[in-house]
Chains A and B, each alone.
Chain A
């Protein structure tokens, strides 16, 4: 597969790691914003291969993780209704609300379906005029255009039995919130490549200048991530703080104009709560007034559902990069993928789940051995 093997080449990785080690003269703390990058870093063990002086902290860029508890509870309430077909991306199904999750609602008789595209939900609405089809529209700028398109199509086709429960969030306000928080330790950011494929890179220049932080737009394969880290370190070591695009095969400065038009058409920017972090001003999207009748929260009158988060879960500190998942007292004890206290333990992109999946054993204690193919004979 083009772009899979090429960006996983051990020799090129070793050469990038060598460059990073050669250029690094002091400790730096770098945040990868996107959950997909966190997954790639932990899955490939990139953090173990970097110089000890470079610390990676895992940012709030997992849509599953930052969707607030009250919205999950609203989703559970809607999904349990007999007239509803509730459609969601797969990894939202196991996210715990305050008392249940979507998989449990399904086992209790709710019609909950995993779909691969919001357009599948629109199709279901057309096929089942007697049912109410609700799509759980979560995610960053990456997933939002298709969700906007779904609403737009439903309107065009006059599908009055289709609605969306919206909890969209935006990356730049989150970077701003982290960079301006009192305890901020982040020296540089890897920005999320796929978000920028939609929105472009132009939003990040003012942030880099205002907070004097390098922001490097970075992809997801191991070599992409290493190149992003290398570029951040090179900037930091030379005292620079600007936006760089390390993912030019996908990202342009202006982004995808068609997608942006669709977003402008369907959504308005709004204040948004982030699970574990709290409200960030102007950090999300809601349906624009002219599409308000597609808002599932209003249609099913679940706006009032509001639930506090677990006091024991420190996912907010994890998502802000203040602690590593393993530094939370509940990690691996009360909080496991089977019994998650917070959302980062649920999604495979969540920092806590990634740590639990791949780093439970202190891998440093595992003796280094030759690759398996040299064992034979």
Chain B
């Protein structure tokens, strides 16, 4: 079963004036807002250094190129097997930065809270964000809170933005895919989407499927250290691995071929997909990346991935070809070929 929100152990550093739920005033800019910042956000996100609250955070940077990314999180339920909206919001933006080869240096967090949200729920989410930021080696340095009326948000929405530094000589972007590039997947797919779906719908699939939510900047750092000329990185989030392959094929105007048998799909994910009529290749991941690497770098990159916890099951799944530009072709388990495309909208479970 899914994890229940683990809020039992949380105690507010200084009681928030007796409010056990969010009220409109927490977003109003007055004393209640200040208390929320002072007693909840600052203790969670600040690692003990003296903090001077200001409209903007200042971040020292060295010379070079900055990466800048933002993403909003509206997941329902807020807590699901293995994670919650908080770690998702940190890891998601860290991963967006990492896909350009950047190491994150600072993040913002914007909260849209629904009136009536239990304070303990917010605190648990904030704690998860703080833990995820620490794990990724990034600080949350600025933020914002707004409160909307009952029924105007699913409990809470979170937006994060982040900046990161791109190492010199690193140029990772979709347009650099080349014919001959080898396509590497960092590990088994489908866990996040199935974990959220099974928590939301109350399904159980024999074994517990937990989200794979993780910050990939450490893995990417190791990969770049092993071979700097990685051409493309993309995290396989919404739309799954299929969306990554189709987007890269379209933007680089190249063909991609992959071998379906090479795609690692955990048995519980395969069972869920079979049961619900879903395709694991389309399901969201939150801790998996796809790398396009020129042949001469494949061994070094694979070795580096295999040495890292988040890449120990990395595998080669296909390669880039000059034929059929813009189109992704799969070799099926039986040896036939078929075109692979992204679904029109969300995947809809089949009738039977």
Listed in ascending order, the chain A residues whose CB lies under 8 Å from chain B are 1, 4, 8, 10, 13-14, 36, 42-46, 48-49, 63-64, 89-94, 103, 114, 116, 138-140, 142-143, 194, 222, 337-338, 347-349, 357-361, 363, 365-369, 371-373, 375-377
Are A363 and B352 in touch, CB under 8 angstroms? no
Complex-state Cα separation, A93 to B343, whole angstroms: 14
A143 to B352 alpha-carbon distance, docked (Å): 7
Q: Is B47 an interface residue (CB 8 A)?
A: no
Write out, one digit per residue, whether chain B residues 255-271 have a CB within 8 A of any chain A CB (1) or not (0): 00111011000011011
Q: A361-B324, A371-B259 are in contact. Are A138 and B348 (CB under 8 A)?
A: no
Return the contact of A45 from the options B262, B298, B334, B350 (Cβ within 8 A).
B334
Produce 1/0 per residue, B324-344, CB < 8 A to A: 100101011111111111001
B115 to chain A, nearest CB (A): 22
Q: How far is the CA of A368 from the CA of B315 in the complex (A)?
A: 21
Q: Does B3 contact A (CB under 8 A)?
A: no
Q: B282-306: which residues lie under 8 A (CB-CB) from chain A?
A: 295, 298-299, 302
Instruction: Give the residue of B258, B333, B351 whose beta carbon is less than 8 angstroms from that of A63.
Output: B351
Question: Known contacts being A1-B267, A1-B271, A114-B349, is A222 close to B339, with CB within 8 Å?
Answer: no
B268 / chain A contacts, CB cutoff of 8 Å: 1
Known A-B contacts A1-B274, A369-B257; the reply to A91 vs B349 at CB < 8 A is: yes
The main secondary structure of chain B at its interface with chain A is mixed
Q: Which residues does chain B contribute within 8 Å of A348, judged by CB atoms? A: 277, 348, 350
Can you pick out 16 interface pairs between chain A and chain B where the beta carbons lie within 8 Å of each other? A1-B267, A1-B271, A4-B270, A44-B333, A45-B338, A46-B334, A48-B336, A49-B334, A94-B348, A347-B351, A348-B350, A359-B339, A363-B338, A366-B337, A369-B257, A372-B262
Contact B339 A90, beta carbon cutoff 8 Å: no
Check A45 against B337 for contact (C-beta < 8 Å): yes
Residue of B nearest to A94 (CB): B348
- Structural contact, B262 and A373, CB atoms closer than 8 A: yes
Bound CA span A359–B224, Å: 38
- How many A-B contacts at CB < 8 Å in the complex? 148
**Set of chain A residues within 8 Å of B267, measured between Cβ atoms:** 1
Q: How far is the CA of A44 from the CA of B333 in the complex (A)?
A: 7
- Let me know if B257 and A361 touch, CB within 8 A: no
Instruction: Determine if A142 and B338 form an interchain contact, defined as CB atoms under 8 angstroms apart.
Output: no
Say whether, besides A90-B348, A359-B338, A360-B339, A116 and B333 are in contact (CB < 8 Å): no
Whether B270 and A337, one on each chain, are in contact in the complex, defined by CB atoms closer than 8 angstroms, is no
B283: shortest Cβ distance to chain A, in Å? 14
Check B339 against A376 for contact (C-beta < 8 Å).
Answer: no
> B338–A43 contact, CB under 8 A?
yes
**B334 and A372: CB pair below 8 A?**
no
Bound Cα distance from A56 to B83, whole angstroms: 46
Say how far A229's CB is from chain B's closest CB, in angstroms.
13
**Complex Cα–Cα for A347 and B262 (A):** 27
User: Considering the chains assembled together, what is the distance between the CA atoms of A372 and B259 in angstroms?
Assistant: 6
Q: List chain B residues, Cβ under 8 A from A372.
A: 183, 257-259, 262, 316-319, 331
Closest to A336 in B: B344
Nearest CB in chain B to that of A354: its residue: B338
Q: A116-B276, A338-B344 are in contact. Are A64 and B336 (CB under 8 A)?
A: no
Most chain A C-beta atoms within 10 Å of own C-beta, residue among B274, B334, B344:
B334
Residue of A48, A371, A372, A375 ringed by the most chain B CB atoms within 10 A: A372
- Distance of A345 from chain B, by nearest CB (Å): 10
Range for the number of chain B residues in contact with chain A: 35 or more
Measured in the bound complex, the distance between the Cα atoms of B203 and A361 in whole Å is: 37
Q: Is the CB of A366 within 8 A of B274?
A: no
> Closest chain B residue to A143 by CB distance?
B352
What is the minimal beta-carbon distance from A108 to any residue of chain B, in angstroms? 16
Asked whether, in the complex, the Cβ of B271 is within 8 Å of the Cβ of A366, the reply is: no
Whether A91 and B351, one on each chain, are in contact in the complex, defined by CB atoms closer than 8 angstroms, is yes
Across the interface, name the chain B residue whose C-beta is closest to A88.
B351
Query: Are B335 and A138 interface neighbours, CB within 8 A?
Result: no
**Hey, which chain B residues are within 8 Å of A357, CB to CB?**
339, 341
| Structural contact, B332 and A361, CB atoms closer than 8 A | no
Q: In the complex the two chains form, is B351's CB within 8 Å of A376's CB?
A: no
Check B350–A91 contact: CB distance below 8 A: yes
Task: Check if B204 is an interface residue, CB within 8 A of chain A.
Answer: no
Q: Which 4 A-B pairs have the closest CB atoms?
A: A45-B336, A90-B348, A372-B259, A90-B349
Determine whether the beta carbon of B350 is less than 8 Å from that of A90: yes
Answer whether residue B136 sits at the interface, using C-beta atoms and an 8 A cutoff. Answer: no
Query: Whole-angstrom distance from the CB of A218 to the nearest CB of chain B?
Result: 15
Pair B201/A116 contact, Cβ less than 8 Å: yes
* CB-defined contacts of B319 to chain A, threshold 8 Å: 372, 375
Interface pair B332/A45, CB less than 8 Å apart: yes
- B327:A361 contact, CB within 8 angstroms: yes
Known: A91-B348, A373-B316. A367 touches B333 (CB 8 A): no
Q: Does B71 contact A (CB under 8 A)?
A: no
Min C-beta distance of B316 to chain A, whole Å? 5
Residues of B within 8 A of A10 (CB): 261, 333-335
Taking a contact as CB atoms under 8 Å apart, the answer to whether A48 and B350 are in contact is no
A46, A49, A138, A348 pick with most chain B CB within 10 angstroms: A348
Q: Residues of A contacting B295 with CB < 8 Å?
A: 375
- When distances are taken between beta carbons in the complex, the residues of chain B under 8 Å from A116 are 201, 203, 276, 349
CB distance from B120 to the nearest CB of A (A): 26
Q: Is B298 touching A376 in the complex (CB atoms < 8 A)?
A: yes
Contact of A89 with B349 at beta-carbon distance under 8 Å, contacts A357-B341, A376-B298 already known: yes
CB-CB under 8 A from A359, the residues of chain B are 338-339
Contacts of A360 in B (CB 8 A): 339, 341
Q: Does B345 contact A (CB under 8 A)?
A: yes
For B335, the closest partner residue in chain A by CB is A10
B334 touches A337 (CB 8 A): no
Cβ of B329 and Cβ of A366 under 8 Å apart? Answer: yes
Residue of A nearest to B348 (CB): A90
In the bound assembly, the distance between CA atoms of A222 and B258 in angstroms comes to 19
Q: Is B130 an interface residue (CB 8 A)?
A: no
Contacts of A347 in B (CB 8 A): 350-351
Judged by a CB distance under 8 angstroms, whether B20 is at the interface is no
